[in-house]
Structure 1
C-alpha cells in the first residue's frame, strides 16, 4: 500500500522513471563502462526498476543511439515551399549526422524503431510530402528507408576515416591488390588511388543522393 493513504499501489511503470530519464542518466556515463547498475546508481533506484524500459546493456546502448536519431529527425526544419528532392537531402543529412553522433553505436539504430512523438511527426510530414508529389505510400516508405541506408553507409565511411569501424569491402580490395602483380587490375588500382586521394567522404554521399534522386524523379516522369 502507498504510505499514509491505505491505497494499494498499482503494478507497472515505476513512478520515478521514464525513458527520457534513463537516456539522460546513461549519457552521463562513459560508453566503455556503461552498465545497468551504473545507470540505476545515477538515478538512485534499484537496478530491477529499469527492467520495465530496458533489460540489459545492449538495450541501454540502443536507447542512446535511438535517442540521438530521434533528436536529429525531430529537429529537421522545412517549410511548405521545400521541394521533395531538397527535403530528402535534408533528411539524409540529418540521419547521417545522427549516425555520426553515436559513432560506434551506429549498428544499434533501427530506423523502424523510431517512436518519439516529435520524430514521428516529422516523418509523417516527409511521407505526406512524398505522397503529394506523386509517390505511392509504399514508395514513400521505401524511399525513406533507402535514404536512411545511404546515410548509414556515408557515416560508416566517415567513421572509417576517423578511426571508427573499418570499411571491410575497401580494406579487402586494397589487400588483394597489394598481393597482385603491378600490371593487373589497372581500373581497380586507378579507382583505389583516386579514392585515397579524396579524403572528403562526403563525395560518395552526394553521389549516392544525386543518383537516388535522379532515379526517383525519372520514376515520376515515366508515370506521368
Structure 2
C-alpha cells in the first residue's frame, strides 16, 4: 500500500475494537499478564489486513477469505475489524479515497478545471470501490482527501459568482452524474443481461422498419455508453449547464 495511506491506516487501527477486558489473573499467572492480543500474536496489523482484502475479488470478500489469505484464524482479525460489513466499508473507503491522491489542481485554476478534476476523481473512486460502493462511509477515517477536494470545488464555484446554496446544488449534480455513470459501468460489467443496443434490437424485431427509423439506426450503431468517453461527455454536459447558471448569476 502506498505511503499516502499511512494516516488513513493509523486512523483505522486506532479506531478498531479494543481487546476484551479480562479479570486480574492469579499471582501464579502474573508472568502471562502482558501477553499480546491475538492479532499481534498472529503478526497482523490493519495494513496487512487491507492489503490481503484488496487482493481478493470483491464479490468473494469476507472475513474468512481474508483470514485464509493471511494464513490466520478468522478471530485474529477481530482485534482490528469488527465484522464483514466493517471490513467492506474500510476497503471501499481506501479504494475511493486513493482516487483523490492524483487531484493536483493549481490554486489559481478556473472553476471548470477544478470541477472536471473533481468529477473524474470522484468517478474513478467509485469505480475502484466497485461492488463495495454501497458500503462506502466517509467518516473521520477517510474523509480528509475528499473533503479537501470538495472544499476546493465549492470555493472555485463561489469565486466564479455563485452563492453557496447554488454551489451546493451544482456539486450534487456532479456527484449524481458520476454515480449514474459508475452504476452503468458496474451493471454492464457484472450483469448477465444483454447490452442496451441488444435489447433494443430485440424489441424492434416485431416492428416495421419505417415505424421507428431513428431507433433502428441506433440499434445498428451501438455506441458504448460505459467507456471513458461517455464519462467525459457526461461531465462536459453538466459543466456546460453550470456555466450557464454562473453567467445568469453574474448578469444580475
Would the TM-score normalized by the shorter structure come out above 0.5? Answer: yes
Secondary structure of 1:79 counterpart: coil
CA distance, structure 2, for counterparts of residue 5 and residue 51 of structure 1: 19
Which sits farther off after the overlay, 43-52 or 58-67?
Answer: 43-52
Q: Which residue of 2 aligns with 1:204?
A: 230
Q: Which residue of 2 aligns with 1:99?
A: 126
Unaligned 5+ segments in structure 2 are 1-23
Q: Which residue of 2 aligns with 1:83?
A: 110
- Tell me if 1:144 matches 2:171: yes
CA distance, structure 1, for counterparts of residue 48 and residue 219 of structure 2: 46
Shift of 1:4: 6.3
Q: Which one of the candidate residues 56, 78, 99 is aligned to 1:72?
A: 99
Shift of 1:33: 3.2
Q: Which residue of 1 aligns with 2:248?
A: 222
Deviations 1:97-137 (A, max 9, x none): 2333344x164364866833233222222222222222233
Unaligned 5+ segments in structure 1 are 8-13
Shift of 1:92: 1.7
CA RMSD of superposed structures (Å): 3.9
Is the alpha carbon distance of 1:213 and 1:59 closer, same or farther for their aligned partners in structure 2, counting shifts above 3 Å?
Answer: same
Secondary structure of 1:74 counterpart: coil
Q: Which one of the candidate residues 83, 90, 101 is aligned to 1:55?
A: 83
Say how many residue pairs are matched: 215
CA distance, structure 2, for counterparts of residue 197 and residue 209 of structure 1: 18
- Tell me if 1:128 matches 2:191: no
Greater Rg, structure 1 or structure 2?
2
Secondary structure of 2:237 counterpart: helix
Is the alpha carbon distance of 1:94 and 1:109 closer, same or farther for their aligned partners in structure 2, counting shifts above 3 Å?
Answer: farther
Shift of 1:83: 0.9
* Conserved? CA contact 1:76–1:94, under 8 Å: yes
* Conserved? CA contact 1:69–1:109, under 8 Å: no
* Conserved? CA contact 1:40–1:50, under 8 Å: no
Shift of 1:155: 3.6
* Conserved? CA contact 1:74–1:122, under 8 Å: no
Shift of 1:62: 3.8
Is the alpha carbon distance of 1:54 and 1:145 closer, same or farther for their aligned partners in structure 2, counting shifts above 3 Å?
Answer: farther
Is the alpha carbon distance of 1:176 and 1:149 closer, same or farther for their aligned partners in structure 2, counting shifts above 3 Å?
Answer: same
CA distance, structure 2, for counterparts of residue 74 and residue 155 of structure 1: 19
Q: TM-score, normalised by structure 2?
A: 0.65
Q: Which one of the candidate residues 11, 20, 29 is aligned to 2:56?
A: 29
Is the alpha carbon distance of 1:20 and 1:148 closer, same or farther for their aligned partners in structure 2, counting shifts above 3 Å?
Answer: farther
